[in-house]
A and B are shown apart, each in its own frame.
Chain A
Amino acid sequence: MAYSDKVLDHYNNPRNIGSLDKDNPAVGTGIVGAPECGDVMKLQIQVDENRRIVDARFKTFGCGSAIASSSLATEWVKGKTLDEALQIKNTEIVRELALPPVKIHCSVLAEDAIRAAIADVKRKLDGARPGNPDVAATASAG
């Protein structure tokens, strides 16, 4: 199966690789997937006082389509408010990257990662115990 040019471009020139400080109250972290399933995505967003996403970073263990989906997700969330970012649908990722049916789960995972990161930062901003969101706790368990 050949990869689309857009998947190859994101794979070869991934946007926004890296990590933000997960203890920063303005940073939300989403980690989804599992190593035994062959893909794990970590997506982080940082918001300003208006809850607009000013920065995003990702790290992904997975196939090229998973890497491309998460790279694209970081591009798309930047500049959006949290509510706008929640509107991003996996089907739009599928269309943009021309993913074949067997790779649709990569786009689903990217959507899940966006939602998990948003939920995390909302918990922090809305006064849940700061610095101890569920997702970050998941990541550092054990």
Chain B
Amino acid sequence: MKPMIYLDNNATTPLDPRALEAMMPYLKEKFGNAASRNHAFGWEAEAAVEKAREQVAAVINASPKEIVWTSGATESNNIAIKGTVRMYRDQGRHVITQVTEHKAVIDPCKYLAGEGVETTFLGVDRQGRISMDELRAAVRPDTVLVSIMFANNEIGTIQPIAEIGAFCKERNIIFHTDATQAFGKVPIDVEAMGIDLLSVSGHKIYGPKGVGALYVRRRKPRVRCEAVLHGGGHERGMRSGTLNVPGIVGLGAAAEIALREMPAERVRVARMRDRLWQILDSQLDDIYLNGDIVNGLPGTLNVSFSYVEGESLMMGFSNIAVSSGSACTSASLEPSYVLKSLGVGDELAHSSIRFSLGRFNTAEEIEQAGRQVVATVRRLREMSPLAEMAAEGIDLSKVQWAGH
């Protein structure tokens, strides 16, 4: 059995041993409730939580007071969207987002339709980027919120965040960005980029699962969110519930490590990603890059391999953990909606593999993975009726398929 190579870091990351070490005392002897104001157990828990707030705020040039702890990016997105829209319901009932957002943004927007809120979904170009002109045209007098992700989880494409932020400031619209994939991987500055709300997840940055954060701007303008969870009034009333102290400490430690190592790590990971693409592109015909390798996340590479199906590919290199936009890998039996919205046809969406590289990958692993992917694609093309027909000069798009 070959050792496993983990290239699915956009799905989740292993906990960094340094983050685990920081968490351990808070799982054991330092078990206090951060809301206990009258004894030392509570004080040390509170101090740890406040330190983590500083660590997370530093990554995005925010103030620690602007960080709200949550259970993860899904909750952060729910508070940012539902909480803001409900708070400002008197000022407007219109939200603008875009089609390649994560479901944790799309579904809250759709849910709000039941409360009379309309959402405009902007389309994207071939690289997965929105157009500023379309955003400008979509704004209405009653638009209260724009929610555009920082970077896409499937294809890595980075949106023009600073431009969107500047535009929203000018038009006095609140700007939320889901930065789950970008936080700690590429520079983010909420001041320079005009971001009002920003969602963070712990487990995408080598921190623990079950913890996240929401940045909520406190000045120029002061943004307010209605609570989604009601209770003891923790986190300035925006998110009740006893704080997950060990998780928060782990997220703080992971954020600090990510910020410190970002300059070198960005370059190292991007180099491995470029090398993987070079191996594939130089040895295989009829493969396509989905997304944007130039202005995208350093570690994300999404490739469609014509004539072979994604799940069967993953079976072929079973010691490499990746994910696919193939329908066979999803519960819905539909191929990736992100790839489809780029204009990638269904066939190539079924043939796509997402490689997401991270901190614990090595150059040697990339060489091995590249070799195995090439060998598997070749083997499966040998048994592909589509490869055979293409080789005979048949235009596959013109065939009358006997679908079922």
Chain A residues within CB distance 8 Å of chain B: 3, 8, 11, 14, 17, 19, 31-42, 58-64, 66-67, 102, 105, 108-109, 112, 116, 135, 138-142
CB pair A102–B404 under 8 Å, yes or no, is: no
Contacts A36-B347, A42-B385 known; 17 new A-B pairs at CB < 8 A? A32-B402, A32-B404, A35-B386, A35-B396, A36-B350, A37-B346, A37-B404, A38-B350, A40-B386, A59-B388, A61-B384, A63-B311, A64-B311, A66-B312, A105-B404, A141-B398, A142-B395
- How near does chain A come to B145, taking the closest CB pair, in angstroms? 35
CB pair B399–A138 under 8 Å, yes or no, is: yes
CB pair A67–B312 under 8 Å, yes or no, is: yes
- How near does chain B come to A66, taking the closest CB pair, in angstroms? 8
CB pair B399–A142 under 8 Å, yes or no, is: yes
Residues of the B chain whose Cβ atoms lie less than 8 Å from the Cβ of A112: 404
Task: Report the bound CA distance from A139 to B316 in whole Å.
Answer: 27
Write the chain B residue with the least CB distance to A116.
B402
> B400 contacts the other chain (Cβ, under 8 Å)?
yes
From 351 to 404 in chain B, residues with beta carbon under 8 angstroms from any chain A beta carbon are 382-386, 388-389, 392, 394-396, 398-404
Residues of the A chain whose Cβ atoms lie less than 8 Å from the Cβ of B400: 138, 141
24 A/B residue pairs, CB under 8 Å, sorted by A: A14-B383, A33-B401, A33-B403, A37-B327, A37-B346, A38-B327, A39-B309, A40-B385, A42-B385, A59-B383, A59-B384, A59-B385, A61-B386, A62-B309, A63-B309, A63-B315, A63-B326, A108-B404, A112-B404, A139-B394, A139-B399, A140-B394, A141-B398, A141-B399
Residues of the A chain whose Cβ atoms lie less than 8 Å from the Cβ of B231: none
CB pair B328–A63 under 8 Å, yes or no, is: yes
Residues of the B chain whose Cβ atoms lie less than 8 Å from the Cβ of A8: 315
Write the chain B residue with the least CB distance to A7.
B315
Task: Report the bound CA distance from A45 to B130 in whole Å.
Answer: 51
Write the chain B residue with the least CB distance to A19.
B388
Of A58, A63, A67, A138, chain B has the most CB atoms within 10 Å of the CB of A63
CB pair B401–A35 under 8 Å, yes or no, is: yes
- How near does chain B come to A132, taking the closest CB pair, in angstroms? 15
- How near does chain A come to B323, taking the closest CB pair, in angstroms? 14
Write the chain B residue with the least CB distance to A102.
B333
5 tightest CB-CB pairs across the interface, nearest first?
A142-B398, A34-B401, A36-B346, A35-B347, A42-B385
CB pair A33–B402 under 8 Å, yes or no, is: yes
- How near does chain A come to B179, taking the closest CB pair, in angstroms? 31
CB pair B309–A34 under 8 Å, yes or no, is: no
CB pair A138–B346 under 8 Å, yes or no, is: no
Write the chain B residue with the least CB distance to A8.
B315
CB pair B404–A61 under 8 Å, yes or no, is: no
Total interface residues in chain B, CB < 8 Å: 34
Task: Report the bound CA distance from A11 to B395 in whole Å.
Answer: 28
> B308 contacts the other chain (Cβ, under 8 Å)?
yes
CB pair A60–B383 under 8 Å, yes or no, is: yes
Write the chain A residue with the least CB distance to B307.
A61
Residues of the B chain whose Cβ atoms lie less than 8 Å from the Cβ of A33: 401-404
Residues of the A chain whose Cβ atoms lie less than 8 Å from the Cβ of B347: 35-36, 38
Residues of the A chain whose Cβ atoms lie less than 8 Å from the Cβ of B350: 35-36, 38
Task: Report the bound CA distance from A58 to B401 in whole Å.
Answer: 17
B312's contact among A11, A32, A41, A141, by CB below 8 Å, is which?
A: A11
CB pair A64–B383 under 8 Å, yes or no, is: no
> B335 contacts the other chain (Cβ, under 8 Å)?
yes
From 56 to 86 in chain B, residues with beta carbon under 8 angstroms from any chain A beta carbon are none
B326's contact among A38, A42, A59, by CB below 8 Å, is which?
A: A38
Residues of the A chain whose Cβ atoms lie less than 8 Å from the Cβ of B316: 11
> B345 contacts the other chain (Cβ, under 8 Å)?
yes
Residues of the B chain whose Cβ atoms lie less than 8 Å from the Cβ of A67: 312, 383
Residues of the A chain whose Cβ atoms lie less than 8 Å from the Cβ of B311: 63-64
CB pair A64–B315 under 8 Å, yes or no, is: yes
Task: Report the bound CA distance from A95 to B333 in whole Å.
Answer: 22
CB pair B326–A40 under 8 Å, yes or no, is: no
Residues of the B chain whose Cβ atoms lie less than 8 Å from the Cβ of A35: 346-347, 350, 386, 396, 401
Given A36-B346, A138-B400, A141-B400: A60 and B385 within 8 A (CB)?
yes
CB pair B385–A63 under 8 Å, yes or no, is: no
A17's contact among B382, B392, B398, B401, by CB below 8 Å, is which?
A: B382
Of B316, B388, B399, chain A has the most CB atoms within 10 Å of the CB of B399
Task: Report the bound CA distance from A140 to B395 in whole Å.
Answer: 9
